[in-house]
Amino acid sequence: MLWQSQLNGDALTWLLEDDEPGVRYLALRDLLDRSADDGELVAAQALAHREGPIATILEQMSEPGYWVEAGPGYGPKYRSTVWSMILLAQLGADVA
């Protein structure tokens, strides 16, 4: 892989460690190109949804499905619905 030739060391081993399931999931999916039905990828994604930032963000969602307050969803900045959805997407959260 071309990106690996740019590194001074082996970052992949570090990214695949078990202590950060979200990082592990993204490394398996985006760097190792694992298929969606790969058992290791599925397990990492499930754990990422139970622990860490994805779980924290989802716990803060109101029952009707918004963050902070109903409405357009942009404010307050960095905590509202739009911002929460952007972060969930970047973290690889899945609705399934």
Nearest to 32 by CA among 16, 48, 51: 16
Residue 15 predicted with pLDDT over 90: yes
The pLDDT of residue 64 is 93
Q: What is the mean pLDDT of residues 14-25?
A: 93
Query: 1: pLDDT confidence band, cut at 50, 70 and 90?
Result: low
Mean pLDDT along residues 43-64: 93
Q: Label residue 69 by pLDDT band (50, 70, 90).
A: confident
Q: Span 50-70, mean pLDDT?
A: 92
